[in-house]
Chain A
């Protein structure tokens, strides 16, 4: 400071304060150096370009959603009106009313919420346990068994469609029931009992969830395993030294540590179970338990035979898809920062 070429001029000096006037470079030079350089120009161009790009892509993502929302309020006259694009001329809530009443929307929401919540909770916990086992313990065939997890991820659903249906239609554990050949009371008569029909119950999905074999569970196990690998071993070792057992360490040290990651997995499994169609179609016959796929229908009270029939029916289907995702969107609004924060902390490394 003191060695500067032009020493600062002392303007005013009191006991506590000192006011010094520096010789500043004049405004124009500062302006030129700061704003008229190539670097500043590229920064500005880049910021604008980035902003436009992000807004554009956001538009592409949101536009189907927005147009669906606008369409859901249209009456049937609007679909033949050339001048109507977004804002309806005959706005109506009939589509919503009809879907909610006729398709038993709230029953479907309740059933699906129960199922999804149960599956998501169980899957999150089981995947967490299994992933911890794979990540932190060295035992024989560790890698080989992990390959099985990857295998469950790679096999297409359709491959197992038939046999999964058969398995749960005639459920039997390793031929045990058949072997016992036990009887069961049905209409006051003992019938030959060899297997249980688990269709139209929550059991098939519960069993698959309990084994970490549900929808996309391989991915969750993989994600959590990568996360646990990043947790330093010293943490557990110090817990062991203090006399804590393996399971206690897991519950008291590791689980609280991995809450953000668990929320991420929970969100994934909840929302994917919510919109899942494959398992629901497979395990639930129509008109047994009202699930989300059942509300995709054309309500009879809406008279669709009009000039723009196919448009109107498409709009009704879209409205039902809006109704399906509405609870999810509300949940996402509250939880999205956990989703992104959790996965960022996971440090997934190939």
Chain B
């Protein structure tokens, strides 16, 4: 439309000089993303290429400064996968833990977002408390908490004298107090499910502190659902339970996909992750840096595969409302 007007209105001589609006906008778009693109090409891409290069070579630091690399093929990868006895185990355990954590985090954050979206007394206060972990529960604070024997003592009433071993965590004792084993044993639902639920309850603080951003994303999604839909649903006589499953859940399903993927990325790349800590430990060792980059490339590929699987599984069930 605009293109035509420009073409017709401009005199024929200048027709070549004036670029169409679309073209000009496209050029402006390039300018807008230029900071990212330029730095990516100049700084980030060499870093990535270097990292791949390091992972297939042997690194020697020179005394006078500088370093030389020596190509050794897939030696580092072989060492990471077959020589190092811990790496494989830790990765498998980490991935297994994550597969259990994704549903827990996504369901918990969805539930909490629905709760915090309702009008009630003290909503602002609860919201403020719930997002504290987003702000302060990362990086160094998380690292300190991870290696902490203090908290387990403080909230655990049974042990009072420092025995040096750290003891059971407070939340674990919570799960014990509720006697979940007995409860589930009587319900006759398989041991695996029981272990799963007990595990979630034991790690409840971990789950809560990791689902802050997800909660925010769900809240944003809930806000964007038109109230008119709820109103018409109410007039038709739907109960809250039906409204949730027939309206809220489909409308929020794109966010479930986003959150599941975000959870995978976040859990894999946060520094308190057991695999990350292990790779970090390897990095400090002699000759470790190259080995650690090989390991983390293996890890990266696993992350990518897992993201693909999660996205593939969930996107089949996602409902997209046709806008306009």
Interface residues of A (CB under 8 A from B): 47, 50-51, 53-54, 57-58, 60-65, 67-68, 70-71, 79-80, 82, 85-86, 126, 129-130, 132-134, 136-140, 142, 145, 148-149, 152-164, 166-167, 170, 173-174, 207-208, 210-213, 219, 221, 240, 246-247, 250, 267-268, 271-272, 274-278, 292-293, 296, 307-311, 314-315, 317-318, 320-321, 324-325, 328-329, 332-333, 336-337, 339-340, 343-350
Contact = CB atoms under 8 A, between A and B. Distances in A.
Nearest to B115: A50
Contacts of A80: 161-162
A250 B29 CA distance: 12
15 contacts: A133-B32, A155-B300, A158-B276, A160-B51, A161-B292, A162-B54, A173-B42, A219-B213, A247-B31, A275-B138, A277-B140, A310-B162, A324-B140, A340-B127, A350-B254
A350 B160 CA distance: 49
Given A82-B160, A163-B48, A349-B254, A213 B36 contact: yes
Interface stretch (B98-106, B149-157, B178-186, B187-195): B149-157
Most central of B21, B31, B135, B280 by chain A CB within 10 Å: B135
A59 B23 CA distance: 56
Interface of B: 21-22, 24-33, 35-40, 42-44, 46-48, 50-51, 53-54, 59, 66-67, 112, 115, 118, 120-121, 124, 126-136, 138-145, 148-151, 153-155, 160-162, 164, 171, 204-205, 208-209, 213, 216-217, 219-221, 223-224, 254-255, 257-258, 262, 265, 268-269, 271, 276, 279-280, 283, 289-290, 292-293, 296-297, 299-300, 303-304, 307, 318
Nearest to B297: A159
A168 B139 CA distance: 22
A7 B153 CA distance: 73
A247 B151 CA distance: 52
Most central of B29, B120, B254 by chain A CB within 10 Å: B29
Given A133-B32, A212-B35, A267 B219 contact: no
B135 A328 contact: yes
B123 to A, nearest CB: 9
A56 to B, nearest CB: 10
Nearest to A39: B239
A158 B283 contact: yes
A221 B118 CA distance: 29
A53 B112 CA distance: 10
B32 A132 contact: yes
A166 B148 contact: no
B276 A156 contact: yes
